[in-house]
Chains A and B, each alone.
Chain A
Amino acid sequence: MKFDTPAGTNPIDQLTVVGKPTDRIDGPLKTTGTAPYAYERHDVVAGQAYGHVLGAAIAKGRITRMDMADAQAAPGVITIVTAETAGPLGKGKWNTAKLLGGPDIQHYHQAVALVVAETFEQARDAASLIKVDYQAEPGAYDLAAAREGATEAKGEPDTGAGDFHSAFAAAPVQLDATYTTPDQSHAMMEPHASIAAWNGDKLTLWTANQMIRWGVKDVAQTLNIPEENIRLISPYIGGGFGGKLFVRSDALLAALGAKAAGRPVKVALHRPLIVNNTTHRPATIQRIRIGATKDGKITAIGHESWSGDLPDGKPETAVQQTRLLYAGANRLTAMRLAVLDLPEGNAMRAPGEAPGLMALEIAMDEMAEKLGMDPIQFRILNDTQVDPEKPGRPFSQRQLIACLQQGAERFGWARRKPTPASVREGRWLVGMGVAAGFRNNLVTKSAARVRLDGQGVVTVETDMTDIGTGTYTIIAQTAAETMGVPLDKVVVRLGDSRFPVSCGSGGQWGANNATAGVYAACMTLRQAVAQKLGFNATEPRFADGQVSSGGHAVPLALAAKDGEMAAEDGIEYADLHKRYQQSTFAGHFVEVGVDAATGEVRLRRMLAVCAAGRILNPKSARSQVIGAMTMGAGAALMEELAVDKRRGFFVNHDLAGYEVPAHADIPHQEVIFLDEVDPISSPMKAKGVGELGICGVGAAVANAIYNATGVRVRDYPITLDKLLDHLPEIA
């Protein structure tokens, strides 16, 4: 189905199933512990051996010698895979560093060997017996130090409009401030894991992967085998947040190990290896300049960001939102990429916007203060309904102002005292902060197959994944709505490369695109069903398990009485996304208390008001937003990978050292969705929502802390020691 004109009224608009708060259909499996994750698939193939990954102990340099004798002789060892034994390997398009290192080492904990043994303990013990001699080379590990030498990244030119420099210089009110965000870890709860089995030259991988199609391609490219020989299966994923967008060393090494061992091999990355072995969100340094007239109109806005990555890596696109969020005739954005020899930087939940808004939305708060304006008023005054770089391109929907205004009312913003450090409750300094949330809506083609059987059961198959987002459920809702059957008549099968290629899960594009693809396939099936049942002239209605038209009704199941009917189709987008800017918006509100004696910050209340197109399932959408707000609170207050700048690795590479929020860190949270349908985005009229919740929330926390204490921290995370020195002397 080609989507080239804004959606008119269609079967989804009935909203009998779609749009209703719906329990997740995989809930019972998950609460009973019976949803099978990759590492647990003992059932799929017999004789699985265990692989244990050995990570490099240096960040940069070469392996000069590997002594495997003791490991090889250790009990239970079947085989050991290294770059040398593996033979020539390619590299996947989505990987920056090689998944199996040696003799050259590109980053700390890069995999250098896989020991395969009869048991996990044997593999792990033997791995510790491998002796590796390294010739370490000096590397660059410090972003601030490498900033000078950073260059424009390939394919990421500077953008702008008007004449930023002159306009900024001439602006009566100016802000020029620099902010930093640290390296962060996805810290999803399920460690990366895969089981690989070969049958002749055909490889099956049971793995935890968000993007099945990318995975197949990258495995093919790395192993130099045809894509058709690879099957990836990933129906249940214990969280990804971008960390499982790409195949990682567990998958590749399981495949290589299984080949070498001549039997299936399973590999999980142990928790302390994950941080340095896989990807992370790169640190940024961001300089923001805003110039405005005295009455608060932005005349110049500039955002530059520096980040680092391995050679041939990519920048963290932290300036993305600044191209679109506020008006202003003179603009500049620029990204510079430094070469760092730290582990590979890559996408983590809302790459670009998440760290970008952490900086931009503090800058807006600072600017509002300079202007003596309320920060909400300042944002409203500088709202834009068109792409400020290309004013001919309107936003498909943009309700930022409504988000902010409704939020202000609901949150009691009027009670906020503009003067910082002026509200005290005992020893607590109390403050409120606001920030705008913004995340683009990305459209990308997505296909599905829909089958109807003689019992009237509709089965949907697509290689789409559910990383916890609720995909199973919204796809079932879409199929139920379109085919006119109750939810329990729908079966959804996901995460298998044998199924039609979907958009996959990432970038908050999954929900809208995957359901639109399922809708397209259902519409094609409807046509076939209508024909089969003899509804030739008019478009019949599909509801309550019946197909009907003009008083004539036939059970849907009848169409499949002589055999299953199936249709495969997908959604493909023409150029609406070029003609219209599609984005999602939020107003984030936070209240904090800060202990004047210790600098301890306690979040007291959080509210997000979101405008994100049609909300397909308010229950799962709300949970997504709350979860993202929580991750954003973590980013504001505690999450930071500490870099060892001499040896080039992340020091706190486990869940004891890399702290993510626990229960008590998270206060009362509320999410409000504005009524919105966006016919420009897809036939579903929906947009993504899973990442919007993290976008802006960190800055709202920072701004609330400023309002509480008068201490402006521009370097995340806002830990106790950054605050305490500057707090008012306690009495």
Chain B
Amino acid sequence: MQHRRTIRFLLGNELRELTDLDPTLTVLDWLRGAERRLGTKEGCAEGDCGACTVVVGRLVDGVVRYEAINACIRFLATLDGCQLLTVEHLKRPDGTLHPVQQAMVDCHGSQCGFCTPGFVMSLYALYRAEVASPGGVPDEQRIDDALAGNLCRCTGYAPIVAAAQQLRDRTTDHIDEALPTVTRALAALADDAVVETGRDGRRFLAPATVDQLADLVLANPEATIVSGATDVGLWVTKHQKVLPTVIYTGRVAGLARITNRGDALELGAGVTFTAAKAALGGLHPDLDELLRRVGAEQVRNAGTIGGNIANGSPIGDTPPALIALGASLTLRRGTQRRTLPLQDYFLAYGKQDRQSGEFVESVTVPKLGQGDLFAAYKISKRFDQDISALCACFLVTLGDDGLITRARLAYGGMAGTPKRAAAAEAALLGRPWDATAARDAKAALAQDFTPLSDWRASAAYRLAVAGNLLLKFQAESAPGAPATRVLVQRAQAFKAGCDIASRGVCNA
């Protein structure tokens, strides 16, 4: 394996080549510390506030794709081959404000200003990706999504939403103008070498191919595999863990691939939530909504399906959905692969079926078929950017006679692992899918789970809602069921042109 010991990326349009990097030096610390670029703020150092939002451009199939991420939990070395844009890059060369910045001024979207650079970058990412595309005027829902990872304690958000709405007439900016050059530069940076850096005996390794990854993981079984670092980043910034060896998967070609296998989708471990949302959302709208509510935009742009499974958390949001759909997991060790039902991967709290030297390579998700009813629910204290109190995903298959032939009821937040409700499933089989069946299944849940109380929710609430969601699922799957979802309800409220219609303050 050829190793390259220089980390190369573009800061704006300027090539940076860095060596001997601390493997877990964050992008934010580098920007604010070494570079003294102080526009990007630190409000929490754990991905919660968005004050550190920067935009990263990556070359995907020859096109630079720009995404907002949290600089505070992203390791600098992972930017190899990327372009990094910070708030300092937005002002035009002649010193005038970028339209995104001007809109924030016009709409009074900044008060104390501490969150503002982060919002500006999230808005810029939205502007760049969507306002530019044909018919790409983001609606209010999309704007909320794009901004949900940025907390503001001063403005109350409405003025910022108004600023986003003001961006409708997009014109080319100086960053667009540089795009051809940037694309060429990024293409020139791509290579097949393993990128390596480190200091004080600690190492950062970024393979470029799956085989390299397999070899490195096998050779360094104690290494920490890092994908989006939306968990691992916090180990470093919050728990002050020192990671001796880091193997980064983000450069691995093919690991982020989504393959349509006819009756199933195969997602590489490196598929981000954002990419998965588009693919899985096509299987069922609830999957789109569920993924929309994983963290927020910055976390979804970085965090991966592989990481969400591998970390074994009982409150990860994708495992319940994937388990309900009957997904299988492929692990790889050296040249060997093995595949197991996803539910079997989770052995106990903190314990997964992953052997030394093994990594998660892909997950295969069967598509819904004839007679399949599906729903996914995420219950959290705060609607956006919050960890689930519980997550419930249901698949019920009805035979031609209308009787239930298959029931897969998977829950997160109800036990030490994501887990199916065996007793409740048994209560459904062979019966018509009606309110009585749902009620019986609800009653059976008490045999399946003894959830915990914590500050997200009490045990009693978890159990009650776990059952109520079955009733809700049943009611929703009845023909002509009314809209019951938060998003639908919001959309209706917006459309109904409520009395209080103006969220904007531009013309105050």
The answer to whether A33 and B151 touch (CB under 8 A), given A630-B156, A655-B48, A656-B387, is no
The minimal Cβ–Cβ distance linking A244 to chain B, given in whole angstroms, is 10
Chain A hits for B42, CB < 8 A: 191
With contacts A642-B455, A659-B381 known, is A598 near B469, CB below 8 A? yes
B41 beta carbon closer than 8 Å to chain A: yes
A159 CB to closest chain B CB, in angstroms? 33
CB-based contact B46/A731 at 8 Å: no
Proximity string of chain A (610-649) to chain B, C-beta cutoff 8 Å, 1 when within and 0 when not: 0000000011101110111111000000101010000000
One digit per residue, 1 when the CB lies within 8 angstroms of any chain B CB and 0 when it does not, for chain A 409-448 equals 0111000000000000111100000000000000000000
Mark out the residues of chain A between 577 and 617 whose CB falls within 8 Å of any chain B CB in the assembled complex: 593, 595, 597-600, 602, 604-607
* Cβ < 8 Å to A, chain B residues 376-391: 377, 379, 381-387, 389
Assuming the A-B contacts A598-B379, A662-B296, A662-B385, are A26 and B113 also in contact, with contact meaning beta carbons closer than 8 angstroms in the complex?
Answer: yes
Q: Tell me whether B384 and A665 are in contact (CB under 8 A).
A: yes
**B248, CB-defined interface residue at 8 Å:** no
B91 within 8 A of A: yes
Residues of B within 8 Å of A670, CB to CB, are: 500, 502
Select the residue from A189, A630, A640, A720 with max chain B CB neighbours within 10 A.
Answer: A189
Cβ contacts under 8 Å, B486 to chain A: 595, 600, 602
13 example contacts (A-B, Cβ-Cβ < 8 A) are as follows A21-B508, A31-B101, A32-B97, A33-B116, A189-B151, A598-B377, A602-B490, A623-B111, A629-B156, A659-B381, A661-B382, A669-B158, A720-B457
Residue B44 CB within 8 A of the other chain = yes
How far, in whole Å, are A190 and B471 apart by their CA atoms in the complex?
44
Residue among B49, B147, B158, B377 making CB contact with A655, cutoff 8 Å: B49
Instruction: Convert A97-115 into 0s and 1s, putting 1 for each residue whose CB lies closer than 8 angstroms to a CB of B.
Output: 0000000000000000000
User: Is A456 among interface residues, defined by CB-CB distance under 8 A?
Assistant: no
| 8 A Cβ contacts from B285-325 to A | 296
Would you call A469 and B111 a contact (CB within 8 A)? yes
For residue A372, CB closer than 8 A to chain B, the reply is no
Q: Does A667 contact B (CB under 8 A)?
A: yes
The interface residues of chain B lying within 8 Å CB-to-CB of A669 are 156, 158, 500, 503
Q: Assess whether B483 is interfacial by the CB under 8 Å rule.
A: yes
A24 & B500 in contact (Cβ 8 Å cutoff)? no
A17 proximal to B (CB < 8 A): no
B472 and A427 contact, CB distance less than 8 A? yes
Nearest chain-B residue to A633 (Cβ)? B156
Kindly provide the distance from the CB of A642 to the nearest chain B CB, expressed in whole angstroms.
5
Q: Which residues of B lie under 8 Å from residue A599 when comparing CB positions? A: 461, 465
Which residues of the partner chain B approach A605 to less than 8 Å between Cβ atoms?
A: 493, 498-500
Size class of A's contact patch? 35 or more
Q: Which residues of A contact B (CB under 8 A)?
A: 21, 23-24, 26-37, 40, 42, 119-120, 124-125, 128, 186-191, 236-241, 270-272, 410-412, 425-428, 467-470, 593, 595, 597-600, 602, 604-607, 618-620, 622-624, 626-631, 638, 640, 642, 651-652, 654-657, 659-670, 719-721, 724-725, 730-731
- Contact of B426 with A by CB under 8 A: no
Tell me whether chain A's interface is mostly helix, strand or loop, or mixed: loop
Assess the A189–B112 pair: CB atoms within 8 A: yes
Q: Are B105 and A24 neighbours in the complex by a CB distance under 8 Å?
A: yes
Interface stretch among B31-39, B350-358, B365-373? B31-39
Q: Are B155 and A626 in contact (CB under 8 A)?
A: yes
Q: Which residues of B contact A270 (CB under 8 A)?
A: 45
C-alpha spacing A427/B473, complex, angstroms = 11
Nearest B residue (CB) for A640: B455
- Compute how far the CA of A34 lies from the CA of B86 in the bound complex, rounded to whole angstroms: 12
Q: Give B457's nearest chain A residue, CB to CB.
A: A721
Q: Are A721 and B112 in contact (CB under 8 A)?
A: no
A271-B45, A597-B472 known; A627-B499 Cβ under 8 A: no
Residues B116 and A620 in contact, CB atoms below 8 Å apart: no
Top 4 A-B residue pairs of the complex, sorted by shortest distance between their CB atoms:
A33-B39, A468-B112, A238-B114, A426-B482
Q: Which B residues touch A640, using CB under 8 A?
A: 455
Q: Please indicate the chain B residues that have their CB under 8 angstroms from the CB of A426 in the complex.
A: 481-484
Q: Which of A627, A654, A720, A731 contacts B111 (CB 8 A)?
A: A627
Rounded to whole Å, the gap between the CB of B108 and the closest CB of chain A is 5
Q: Would A662 and B148 be within 8 Å (CB), given that A31-B110, A627-B155 are in contact? A: yes
How many angstroms from the CA of A271 to the CA of B505 in the assembled complex? 32
